[in-house]
Amino acid sequence: MRELTHCNDIPVPDPKPDRIYSAQLLDREMQFVGLKRLLGAADYSKAGDRHAGLAAEAEDIREAARSALSDLTLEHIYEHPLTDDRGRVDSVMRVNYDIDLDVFSPIASLTLGDLKDRLLSAPGNEVERIGRGLTGVMAAALAKLCDVHELIFIARKCSRPTQARTLLGAPGTLSSRLQPNHPTDDPQGIACLCYWGLSLASGDALLGVNPAIDTVENVESLLKLLDSVRRRTGAPSQICVLAHIKTQLACLDRGAPVEVLFQSLAGTEETNLAEFDISVDLLDHGYRTMAERGALHRVARQFMYFETGQGSEFTYGRHHGIDMTTTEALCYGLARRYDPFMVNNVTGFIGPETHRDSFEMMLANLQDHFMGKLLGLPMGMAPCYTLHSQTILEGQQIATQLLTAAGANYFMDVCLNTDRMLAYFDTSAHDVQTLRELYRRTPAPEYLEWAIGRGILQKEADGSVRRGPQWGNPEQFCDSPEEFAELARRTPALYGRETAGPRPANSVMRRVKFNQGAARAAIHSELRIDDLQRLANFRVLETTAKDKEAHLNSPEAGARLSPASLARLSPEAKQVQIVVSDGLSAEALHHNLPDLLPTLVDGLTSRNISQGQPIVVRYGRVKLAEQIADTLECDLVVFLVGERPGGDALASRSLSAYLVYRLTGAALAEAARFSGNSRAKWEQTVISNIYSGGLPPVEAGAVILEKVLQILAHKAAGNRLLALLKSSTP
Amino acid sequence: MTSVRLVGLDFGTTTSRCVAATARLSKNAVTGRQELSDIREVFRSPIVLTPFGQDRLDLRRLEEHLDDWLSAAAADTQEIFGGGALVTGLAAQQPNSSALVELIRSRVKDLLVATAGDPCLEAWLAFQANAGSISRARPDRPDRWVINLDIGGGTTNIAVGRSGEVLRTGSLFVGARHIEVEPGTYRIVKLSRYARAMLDDLAIAVGPGDRLTSPQLDAILDWQMELLESALAGDRAVFEKPVARLHEQVAFHPPSELQNPIVCLSGGVGELVYKMLRSELPPSTTQFGDLGIDLAARIAKSRWKARPTEAAPLDAGRATVYGLLLYATQVSGSTVYLADSAVLPMRDVPILGRITDDSTDAEIQDILQLASRSAVGGCVVVSLAQSDGQTVRTLGERIGSTLRSAEIPAATRLVLLVRENVGKALGGYLSQWGSVPHKLVVLDEIEPLDARFVQIGALRDQVVPISFYGMN
């Protein structure tokens, strides 16, 4: 076990006032106030940095910043720790200074430009050694100076193998993390995806589920399920349920097989505390506990697993003026403290507010891989996307080609690229096998032996490893084909098991791509106001999002009414106000409202509930409901909005109903007492998955009505309503 | 996701048994329906010989078994969510079989369906437990027929289906134990009335104390096989004879399009057949004191191409009890309409008929009046041509209007079952959004079976368990 230096014992220079950095470009002198601004301007332009006002506005400004950055010494970076909004060095930054000073001191006088050149010419072991003397900010600064070839060339020199049951990241290997996520944590569905993935030679890095429900009972049950799958198949790998670290430690206390401890990290202390509910002390505790009594503590040299990705700090508004690449590098400086078995980078997961398109996602992934490897981390990569960004499958595939060239330890295996639970798109087992065959890579050695023994893989005469006769046959792990068919019955988005070479067969890919295409079309569809007016006499309002592009790229824009629309509203004091908005799928409104709205209105009218004239708002987000409730002074807004489409064509028409209750009088005090939040002004109950394949719209109308009546009767919504209903049930 | 407990109890001609399991109530992410999943067996009783007294069931010993099993199956019977208890085969033919049902009901109250002599339900359950996964495995092959023969001590229950749906059932009094013998010999101990008739038909003059000769045994097995094969082939000529008709508990009419079915076997005899097909050492002559081993050997050599047992998810010998455990209870959708949850549970509710979009007002009125005359209330299956808002609204309002115009008493307990997920909306329109006083229940996402009764459990985590019995 690595000795952990207490955070406060790590030497960090005192923060200093911002200085002005300048660079001469032809006859212009460009200035950047403070290191944060300089780092932001020196980076490739990405949506999150643009929204944060950190990205350079033009290419010449960016190059000027890079010139200035190139000339800074490592010592200068060291002496200028980046601070939070209160001018404080936070715990994440402090941990980043836990470097090998014996390595750092001799190179402190090098400029970043010099260091980049040295890394390009140095052998691999020297690059690895230098990495131990660098902070996250230094790695980020280097990343901003590197072009694509350099990001790949330097990273490729670093080998970061780690050992649990399998040896991950050894030269010549390419592993995969099997992610059998299921929207309801259905054990049969998860087993189905595990068997299929293992039959495709995936999962040598990990069998890891993101739980839909983060409770100790559920996570323990999932751990036992994965353990049983591992034992049944005999696959040499390790298991993990990617719940919160506290949940996993509680499972460990109950004797569950916690083999690898997972946690998502952010690059600022404030994000970690406020959003992820973690601290350095908690991570230290988790690391020590796993070293003492983790399920693999006698077997594994490493047992921690972290997930990161550019942009979470920005999305939560807790980035302190630090750009996305740098906050990402700070995550790595924190992860390095725990000598992790795996680090998984999921840049692209958040959406267009951080990475607008394939190009931004690709570059960010190469930067992340470079920084992580340089800082000594076993980087697995998950170049991924959501359908409301402009990133596409082919952009993701180009990223995997480049990252394989750069030496990524592993990619994800999300069955047919479609995550059934998280509604995003990642790499697949087919992708990993394709890359292995293209680049002559193999799985981890222990796993390879198992896969060859089962006929999943086979060794060719030239020493390469290819698909064997059992590749892609999940039934081999079941007692009968019928058993697998039963598992498949509970697993959505299984578009077919046919293959062509290492790829899914054309018929399968056509279904995958069609479903994505239909879902993307739903996101970009526009509301047809005239059609809606035939259903009800809507008031038509606008948000501050001026067009679809602004709406998709900036969640804030759709959260407020435009000044003109706001001016049209005044207090009406009705009980219920129905508001409909496209959100992320206008089609969801057009397909559901014709059945839903009449049922809801019939019920409200029959029960003598007063209603305001219904409202339709283009480019709206859920937060808008609060502003409308306050302005109209109604008791409750029923906000019907299109959900973010996943990878299923039908589900791209899925609608949610947010019942936003405006707290007044005694309810305000009750809500504050219940939640412990004295600033809470609204409570919210959500009914989701409304579409023909989920909760049918006519039934949804009746379900919403029932909830409305309960909310009005109990003057409460959300968890407080549930508690009141529970207490009133005999 | 709620964890629930299921219990299956099977009191058969030869043996009786109990199985209990825990399961999760969860939504199938593919179909969107509520289902029982992650079923884990937590108790399996030893298989006991069904205790008989003098020409009747030995209720005292059965009571001991029942109490032992239930206490092992569930710490508190109130935990039980579903499953079922069946008295089957020749046990159901005993004069005191209804007393056994009452005994079971006294223990499990309204938590489990309990019934005797329901051969089509037995056939349906055995199919689902033994052949259901095979039948469902290829939804792309609707022409793929599966027949399940559940051959026990007293009866052979036949079910044929495709894509997991049972389409026809039947039952014959053909089984292992119509002729009881001393174990290890062919000396007759006891004959059922069916065996007596068969022997008369074969002109074999034997009775208790006599030893069957080899030619006599062959003749008996030939006779039973002919009856089975005639039933499967739909050859009704054989059943013109009174003795064959006597053996036919429920006539089996194979579908005309039935071709090359996959044959699955279950029940004690079925399990023996599989052992023989796997070349396992057969039990010694009449080890179980009946002709089951001989019947199994004859079936193993028959022209049927029985599916290997390893394809079956559960052991074939326990198909009925697993069928009870896993398939006797359906789970409603999670958005049911319940005017008053106190009206549940309901037991022995007759299924009175079906209301469709095309039903006339008079037809709707007739069914509602039938319900009003039933002390336990009435159940009606609602079939919708479409599940759009207009259809639901129109039919709901029509039924509601008839309810009021026909002056159906408010105390009438009316249960509507509907396949589509529209229970709350249909109930809302029918009740004018809760303004009529009737004790209305609308359960949705239910696959109505061709049965005469339903038992409906209490609301649990937004869903309601329901069991069909008295199957036609």
Check if the beta carbon of residue A429 is closer than 8 Å to that of residue A415. yes
B138: contact with A, CB 8 A cutoff: yes
B420: contact with A, CB 8 A cutoff: yes
Q: Please state the pTM of the whole predicted model.
A: 0.87
The alpha carbon of residue A509 is apart from the nearest alpha carbon of chain B, in Å, by 19
Chain A: residues touching B (Cβ < 8 Å) = 182-189, 213, 218, 420, 479-483, 485-486, 489-492, 594-596, 598-599, 602-603, 606-607, 693-699, 701-703, 705-706
Query: Which of A193, A214, A599, A689 has the most B C-beta neighbours within 10 Å, making it the best mutation to test the interface with B?
Result: A599
Determine the residue of chain B that is closest to A690 in CA distance.
B32
Whole-angstrom distance between the N-terminal and C-terminal Cα of chain A? 53
Determine the residue of chain B that is closest to A593 in CA distance.
B389
pLDDT digits (tens, 9 = 90+) for A16-56: 999 999 998 888 899 999 999 999 999 999 999 999 999 99
Residues in A touching B421 (Cβ below 8 Å): 695-696, 699
The answer to which of A250-264, A587-601, B46-60, B177-191 has the lowest mean pLDDT is: B46-60
Name the phi and psi angles at A451, rounded to 5.
-65, -35
Count how many Cα atoms sit within 13 Å of the Cα of residue A533 in the half-sphere of its side chain. 5
Give residue A550's identity as a one-letter amino acid code. Answer: A
Give residue B75's identity as a one-letter amino acid code. Answer: A
Q: Are the Cβ atoms of A694 and B134 closer than 8 angstroms?
A: no
For position B312, what pLDDT does the model report? 46
Residue A540 bridge partners (DSSP): A616
What burial letters (b/e) apply to A618-641, b meaning 16+ CB within 10 Å?
bbbbbbbbbbbbebbebbbbbbbb
Check if the beta carbon of residue A307 is closer than 8 Å to that of residue A299. no
B419: contact with A, CB 8 A cutoff: no
The alpha carbon of residue B121 is apart from the nearest alpha carbon of chain A, in Å, by 23
**Closest listed residue to residue B312, CA positions, set B275, B283, B259:** B275
How are the residues of chain A apportioned to helix, strand and coil, as percentages rounded to the nearest 5?
45, 15, 40
Q: Give the pairing of strands B80-87 and A655-662.
A: unpaired
pLDDT band for A315, please (50, 70, 90 cuts): very high
Determine the residue of chain B that is closest to A730 in CA distance.
B342
Check if the beta carbon of residue A409 is closer than 8 Å to that of residue A164. no
B98: contact with A, CB 8 A cutoff: no
Q: Are the Cβ atoms of B311 and A693 closer than 8 angstroms?
A: no
Determine the residue of chain A that is closest to B390 in CA distance.
A595
ipTM given for this complex:
0.86
DSSP structure class, residue B180: E
Whole-Å CA distances, B78 to A389, B74, B182, B392: 52, 8, 43, 36
DSSP per-residue letters across B243-282: HHHHHEEE-----TT--SPEEEEEHHHHHHHHHHHTTPPP
Candidates A184, A485, A695; nearest CB to B29: A184
- Alpha-carbon distance A347 to A341, whole Å? 19
What burial letters (b/e) apply to A177-207, b meaning 16+ CB within 10 Å?
bbbbbbbbbbbbbbbbbbbbbbbbbbbbbbb
Is pLDDT above 50 for A342? Answer: yes
C-alpha torsion angle, residues A407, A410, A411, A415 (rounded to 10) = 150
Is pLDDT above 90 for A97? Answer: yes
Average pLDDT for A479-491: 90
For position B309, what pLDDT does the model report? 45
Determine the residue of chain B that is closest to A494 in CA distance.
B30
| Interaxial angle between packed helices A358-374 and A393-406, expressed in degrees from 0 to 180 and rounded to the nearest 10 | 20
Counting residues of chain A whose pLDDT is more than 70, the rounded percentage is 100
Name the phi and psi angles at B380, rounded to 5.
-130, 135
Check if the beta carbon of residue A181 is closer than 8 Å to that of residue A419. yes
**Closest listed residue to residue A357, CA positions, set A406, A322, A398:** A398
Residues in A touching B425 (Cβ below 8 Å): 599, 698-699, 701-702
Residues in B touching A187 (Cβ below 8 Å): 37-38
In whole numbers, what is the pLDDT of chain A averaged over residues? Answer: 96
Residue B463 bridge partners (DSSP): B460
The alpha carbon of residue B38 is apart from the nearest alpha carbon of chain A, in Å, by 6
Q: Are the Cβ atoms of B29 and A698 closer than 8 angstroms?
A: no
The alpha carbon of residue B332 is apart from the nearest alpha carbon of chain A, in Å, by 14
Look up residue B248 and give its two tokens.
């036919």
- Alpha-carbon distance B399 to B361, whole Å? 8
C-alpha torsion angle, residues A416, A422, A427, A432 (rounded to 10) = -80
The alpha carbon of residue A53 is apart from the nearest alpha carbon of chain B, in Å, by 42
Q: Are the Cβ atoms of A491 and B29 closer than 8 angstroms?
A: yes
The alpha carbon of residue B40 is apart from the nearest alpha carbon of chain A, in Å, by 12
Query: Which of A186, A188, A609 has the most B C-beta neighbours within 10 Å, making it the best mutation to test the interface with B?
Result: A186
B429: contact with A, CB 8 A cutoff: yes
For position A147, what pLDDT does the model report? 98
Q: Are the Cβ atoms of A702 and B311 closer than 8 angstroms?
A: no
Residues of chain B with pLDDT under 70: 1, 304-317
**Closest listed residue to residue A617, CA positions, set A594, A593, A569, A583:** A583
Sign for the pseudo-dihedral over CA of A585, A586, A590, A596: positive
Is pLDDT above 90 for A729? Answer: no
Q: Give the pairing of strands A239-241 and A206-209.
A: parallel
Check if the beta carbon of residue A140 is closer than 8 Å to that of residue A329. yes
Determine the residue of chain A that is closest to B1 in CA distance.
A184
Average pLDDT for A182-207: 96
Give residue A137's identity as a one-letter amino acid code. Answer: V
Residues in A touching B435 (Cβ below 8 Å): 606
Candidates B38, B427, B433; nearest CB to A187: B38
Check if the beta carbon of residue A659 is closer than 8 Å to that of residue A634. no
Whole-Å CA distances, A264 to A308, A342, A690: 6, 12, 31
Check if the beta carbon of residue B29 is closer than 8 Å to that of residue A183. yes
Average pLDDT for A174-189: 95
Check if the beta carbon of residue A617 is closer than 8 Å to that of residue A561. yes
Residues in A touching B388 (Cβ below 8 Å): 595, 698
Candidates A490, A694, A695; nearest CB to B37: A490
For position B316, what pLDDT does the model report? 65
Q: Are the Cβ atoms of A482 and B134 closer than 8 angstroms?
A: yes
For position B306, what pLDDT does the model report? 56
Candidates A187, A492, A705; nearest CB to B29: A492
Is pLDDT above 80 for A629? Answer: yes
Candidates B133, B389, B433; nearest CB to A483: B133
The alpha carbon of residue B423 is apart from the nearest alpha carbon of chain A, in Å, by 7
